[in-house]
């Protein structure tokens, strides 16, 4: 079982202050500071209140400013939020009042020292043997797919595990706004966006990076998270012969993926009809994750995108989750597409 990376270096440990002790826990994946209201951690079972304390809202603000500076960014009234990377791969997000009530808020995402494998996810209960077999076939058959789910459901972790199963001969080009995706593979190229500097210059957007990735001879184009106008370039890429492309997207259910892409397409000035026309030929499979009542991350649904007379829909192929899979209307279609017998899916 892999564990998150621990913070290293005297500068980082000093900047973290009372949070440093929390990050020494090998099970902590997220640390959340809710201003003066307290500190929370996630050890894979949902958020739990932590014993660490910050004296007052001024202490929280100083902590946020220190960490932002360590990430090479500015955090003040003129630039009241930060999304950056700290030494050791810690992902930082910080937000200042009045954009948030009750003092500065921080989120720290802890990267893992190693990429979890499908076997690890099975051991943790996120998958079972049946689901792992299906996911292996999805990668092997080079269908294009999306991993959907809410915040903290393990979308990036699952995507990294799947990409690690790609053939060593494949060139994987990953595009992210902040580097978070880790892949155990010999030929991965990471492209990372850049925020504007203090003068408002030098920004490199996800849209630009997706466009650049297509010129790098990728075998697979991967967008770490589809969240804006880059959806246009991604759909274009996956409709021009780039098989096996993939990414993650926030959605409450697999069925919501079409609506989510339609909304994102509007940011790129694409009509709903244009988005749906490209999406049906760009993405084939949707893998949906959520958390159970105990906060544990689980694969809950495998679905396929289908066109219909009045638009596009996401149709369930497998539903239920580990140990309780049931066949959906698209089960046989999925089996044919990924090269498995129908009996191997359920």
pTM: 0.81
- What are 148-189's pLDDT values in tens digits? 999 889 999 999 999 999 999 999 999 988 788 889 999 999
3 domain residue, yes or no: no
Number of separate domains in the chain: 2
Q: For residue range 217-254, list pLDDT tens digits in order.
A: 999 999 888 888 888 888 887 887 778 899 999 999 99
Same domain, 68 and 99: yes
CA–CA dist 53, 125 (Å, integer): 33
- Cβ-count burial 94-114 (b if 16+ within 10 Å, e if not): bbbeeeeeebbbbbbbbbbee
| Segments forming the whole domain that contains residue 46 | 10-109
Do residue 184 and residue 286 come from a single domain? yes
Tell me how far apart the alpha carbons of residues 134 and 286 are, in angstroms, rounded to a whole number: 12
pLDDT in tens, 82-139: 988 888 778 899 999 999 988 999 999 887 667 889 999 999 999 999 999 999 999 9
Whether residue 333 is predicted with pLDDT greater than 70 in this model: the reply is yes
Quick check: 262 pLDDT over 60? yes
pLDDT tens readout for residues 7-46: 556 678 888 888 988 888 888 889 999 998 889 999 877 8
Q: Could you tell me which residue, 44 or 258, shows the higher pLDDT?
A: 258
Strands (E), the chain: 30-34, 39-42, 47-49, 81-85, 91-95, 105-109, 145-149, 172-176, 188-192, 220-223, 246-250, 285-291, 297-308, 311-319, 326-327
Tokens coding 182: 């880790």
In this prediction, residue 1 carries a pLDDT of: 42
| pLDDT (0 to 100) of residue 88 | 78
Looking at the fold, whether 23 and 149 belong to one and the same domain comes out as: no
Same domain membership, residue 99 and residue 191: no
Give whole-number Cα distances, 293 to 11, 46, 49, 252, in Å.
38, 9, 17, 15
Contact 100, 35 (CB under 8 A): yes
pLDDT of residue 36: 84
pLDDT tens for 267-301 read 889 998 899 988 988 999 999 999 988 888 999 99
Nearest to 139 by CA among 164, 106, 110: 164
Residue 153 forms part of a structural domain: yes
CA 77/CA 189 separation, integer angstroms: 36
| CATH number, position 156 | 3.40.50.300
Binning pLDDT at 50, 70 and 90, where does residue 6 land? low
Average pLDDT score, the chain: 88
Alpha-carbon distances of 197 from 106, 118, 200, 288, 308, rounded to whole Å: 21, 40, 5, 36, 46
Domain for residue 327, yes or no? yes
Structure tokens at 321: 């989750």
In this structure, what token pair is assigned to residue 80?
């009241």
249 and 131 within one domain: yes
Q: Is the pLDDT of residue 4 over 80?
A: no
């Amino acid at each position: 079982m892999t564990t998150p990376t621990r913070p290293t270096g005297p500068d980082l440990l000093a900047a973290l202050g009372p949070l440093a002790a929390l990050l020494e826990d090998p099970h902590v994946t997220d640390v959340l500071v809710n201003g003066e209201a307290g500190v929370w951690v996630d050890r894979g079972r949902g958020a739990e209140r932590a014993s660490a304390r910050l004296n007052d809202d001024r202490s929280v603000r100083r902590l946020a400013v220190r960490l932002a500076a360590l990430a090479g960014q500015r955090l003040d009234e003129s630039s009241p939020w930060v999304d950056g990377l700290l030494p050791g791969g810690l992902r930082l997000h910080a937000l200042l009042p009045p954009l948030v009530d009750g003092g500065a808020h921080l989120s720290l995402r802890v990267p893992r020292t190693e990429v979890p494998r499908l076997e690890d996810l099975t051991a943790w209960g996120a998958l079972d043997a049946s689901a792992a077999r299906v996911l292996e076939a999805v990668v092997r058959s080079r269908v294009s797919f999306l991993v959907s789910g809410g915040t903290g459901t393990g979308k990036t972790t699952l995507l990294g595990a799947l990409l690690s199963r790609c053939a060593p001969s494949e060139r994987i080009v990953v595009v992210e706004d902040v580097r978070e995706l880790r892949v155990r593979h010999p030929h991965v190229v990471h492209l990372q966006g850049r925020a504007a500097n203090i003068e408002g210059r030098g920004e490199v957007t996800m849209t630009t990076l997706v466009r650049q990735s297509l010129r790098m001879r990728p075998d697979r184009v991967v967008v770490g998270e589809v969240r804006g106008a880059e959806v246009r370039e991604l759909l274009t890429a996956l409709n021009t012969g780039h098989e096996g492309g993939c990414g993650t997207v926030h959605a409450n259910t697999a069925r919501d993926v079409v609506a989510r892409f339609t909304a994102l397409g509007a940011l790129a000035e694409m009509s709903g009809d244009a988005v749906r026309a490209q999406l049906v030929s760009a993405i084939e499979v949707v893998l949906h994750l959520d958390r159970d009542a105990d906060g544990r991350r689980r694969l809950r649904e495998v679905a396929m995108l289908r066109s219909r007379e009045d638009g596009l829909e996401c149709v369930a192929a497998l539903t239920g989750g580990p140990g309780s899979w049931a066949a959906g209307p698209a089960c046989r279609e999925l089996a044919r597409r990924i090269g498995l017998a129908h009996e191997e899916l359920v």
